[in-house]
Structure formats: structure tokens, C-alpha cells
Amino acid sequence: MKATLILANGTLFHGRAIGATEDRVCEMVFNTSMTGYQEILTDPSYAGQGVVMSYPLIGNYGVNHEDNESARPWAEAFVVRHLSPEGSNFRCEDTLNNYLKSNHIVGIEDIDTRALTKILRSQGTMNGMITCAEHFNINEVMEKLRAYRVEGTVERVTCREPWTLPAEGERKYRVALMDYGMKRNMAQCLAKRGCEVTVLPAHTPASEVLSGGYDGVMLSNGPGDPADNVEIIKEVKKLYDSSLPIFAVCLGHQLMALATGARTHKMVFGHRGGNHPVKDVEAGRCFITSQNHGYVVDADTVDPNLASVSHVNVNDNTVEGLKYRRPNCFTVQFHPEAAPGPMDTEYLFDRFIASMGGDR
């Protein structure tokens, strides 16, 4: 079946439909990862977005339930150059196309994803619509694209009730993990270091966290504009004002910055992929990181009396981490839990363990 991708700038890409075949409007973003498409689709940070994979062959190792980063996929649409019809892998349980169909993800293949990526890089992230209709009113489509906005996503992706992941082996610490769109490997990275992890809904009051007997709190990744989360930011400020050790990632990093008076802004095309170089300023070393974000903290708005920049992006010098003057509080923009991507920065979980008291 034929399909068409219509961008907000008026560009049309004609290809073949994959996955579900209904019309879908979303924000189009690109990811430069060569593998890890299943983890990308199930990353809640992609809620409200369509993912363009810049690598040309996707789906070659199929899918399996073990690699899901959440209970369901969150991406609205999937755009590839070529979708492998079969998965060649001893762990393969199904084809990617069947996975897209069963989860109602709209997709398109056989388009020039390099040209599409160049448009999104030069003109910026923009809304798009995928349709299988042979005839459509372009003016009506453009009106839908202008009206679409990614919003209310944290409320959509957060867990509804608290749940607990037991520590692997002897329990050393109890950690509260605020779920703004958490990936499962984040909790697992803590559990394998001896932490019993209690995952809490995004709007859990700070008072409940502070009275819960936790040794530390982690603020997770998540989707959307961080400044939209006004009530959550107020609760994050209360956590900051406590003495509880805090480690925040991605959206959590941005929320902490906003809570302490800094500002954020939307990037032209964001950072999404598993190959982003980041320099740890204190260590003087560069690490390859996994990233997925479209907003960034403004370095000039960070109060030097409260925090200093601990990590910077080597490509564009944007803020990738903050170390707060307040004891035992640090945040990073990238994903140290990877999934997908390199695990170079898992040392940050060890740093968080050390802030709670180390190997006791």
C-alpha cells in the first residue's frame, strides 16, 4: 500500500505503508542509532513524536519482549529507508512490521531518510502527517500540522500506582524513582547495585517522598517541554531543599534546573542517538552517550552560586550535566542507563550510590 509523509514545510515523501494504516499527525524527529529500534519505540520520551531512523536498514534482528523499555511503545510513527521483512536472530520472536501493526504505530518505508534528516537538521524539528489516502486536501493537512503540539505527555506515560523492583542480592539502599517517563533499565541499573527501587507516579508530593524512609531519589527521563510541568517543578524544588541525595537524568535534569531558577529552550533538532560525545569536565574525559531530548538547559541562566556545569556536549557545547553546590545532588542530560546505546557513563550510578553512603 502506498503512503505519503507530509511535512509542515510542504515537503512530500512518497513511499510504502508499514505498521498501521490510519492517518497520524505527530512531531517528526530523527535518531542516528544503528540498532536499538525496539528500545527507541518503547522509550516514553518519544510520546507524541514520529521517529525517523537515519540508518538505512531497520528490523533485521526482529523484536522480542525482553528488550522493551516500558510496557508498550510510545512513538506515534516510524519512518525508515528499508524495513527488513524478516528478523535474523536467535532471540527473535516476531517481525518489526507485525510489532508496529499490533501496537497501532503508523509507518512508512522506501523514502529518502537522508534527505528527510537533512531537512529536519537544517530547518528544525517539525510536525508531519503520514497518510495512506490517495487523495487529500493539502490545506486541511497543513491546518492540522499547525495545530498539533506535544503536550500532556508526562501524565500519559507515568505509572498510575507505585511499584517496587527488589534489589539484586542484599539490599543496601532504598531509592525513590520519580517516573516522568522512565525506561526500565534505569531501575535495573539501580537494582543490580543493591538498591530496592520504588517507582512513584510523576505527581507524587515531595512530602510523601521525604517521609518514605528512602536513602536517595532519582528523577527520570520523560517527554515534552519541561516548562509545562509547573506543579512537578514545585515538588522538585522541595526535594532540592531537603538533604536527600538526588540524581536526575534528561527531563529530570531539566526539571531540577527549572526548580533552581535556570531556564530551558527548545533545540533546533535535538540530540537523539547512541553516538553523542560528552565531556566530563571534572574528569577531563570524553564519553560516548545515548541521548533523546529536544530541550536543553540555558548555560547562561544557571546560578553559579547554586550549580556548575559538569558535562558539555562536544559537538555543540550545550549543557549535558550540572553539579549542584548543595551536597549530593547532580544531574545529566544524557542517558547513563543506555538501552539502546553505549554504557560508558554507568559510572554515574556508582557515584549516586557513593552519595548515599557507598558500599555498606
What confidence score (pLDDT) does residue 236 get? Answer: 98
Same domain, 141 and 203: no
What confidence score (pLDDT) does residue 360 get? Answer: 59
Same domain, 184 and 267: yes
Q: How confident is the model at residue 187 (pLDDT cuts 50, 70, 90)?
A: very high
* The amino acid at 98: N
Cell numbers describing residue 78: 516510524
In this predicted structure, the answer to whether residue 348 has a pLDDT above a threshold of 70 is: yes
Same domain, 131 and 203: no
Q: Per-residue pLDDT tens for 211-239?
A: 999 999 999 999 999 999 999 999 999 99
- Residue 333 located in a structural domain: yes
Same domain, 109 and 165: no
Same domain, 117 and 81: yes
Parallel, antiparallel or unpaired: strands 173-179 and 216-219: parallel
Distance CA(341)–CA(43), nearest Å, equals: 13
Question: Among residues 150, 185, 207, which one ends one of the domains?
Answer: 150
Same domain, 94 and 186: no
Same domain, 348 and 208: yes
What is the domain extent for residue 279? Answer: 154-355
Same domain, 118 and 166: no
What confidence score (pLDDT) does residue 241 get? Answer: 98
Q: Per-residue pLDDT tens for 258-298?
A: 999 999 999 999 999 999 999 999 999 999 999 999 999 99
The phi, psi pair for 339, rounded to 5°, reads 55, 70
Q: Per-residue pLDDT tens for 90-116?
A: 999 999 999 999 999 999 999 999 999
Distance CA(280)–CA(173), nearest Å, equals: 26
Alpha-carbon dihedral sign for residues 227, 229, 232, 234: positive
Mean pLDDT of all residues in the chain?
A: 96
Same domain, 238 and 196: yes
- Residue 187 located in a structural domain: yes
What's the structural domain count of the chain?
2
- Residue 241 located in a structural domain: yes
Cell numbers describing residue 204: 507524587
Question: Among residues 150, 185, 200, which one ends one of the domains?
Answer: 150
Same domain, 64 and 184: no
The phi, psi pair for 188, rounded to 5°, reads -70, -35
Q: Per-residue pLDDT tens for 301-311?
A: 999 999 999 99
Q: ∠ at Cα 268 (263, 270), nearest 5°?
A: 80
- Residue 88 located in a structural domain: yes
Question: Among residues 99, 124, 150, which one ends one of the domains?
Answer: 150
Same domain, 140 and 184: no
The phi, psi pair for 15, rounded to 5°, reads -155, -155
In this predicted structure, the answer to whether residue 359 has a pLDDT above a threshold of 80 is: no
H-helix segments, the chain: 37-41, 96-102, 113-123, 138-147, 153-157, 184-191, 206-210, 230-240, 251-259, 347-355
What confidence score (pLDDT) does residue 26 get? Answer: 98
Active-site residue list? 250, 335, 337
Mean pLDDT (whole number) for 183-212:
97
Q: How confident is the model at residue 194 (pLDDT cuts 50, 70, 90)?
A: very high
- Residue 360 located in a structural domain: no
What confidence score (pLDDT) does residue 323 get? Answer: 98
Same domain, 219 and 135: no
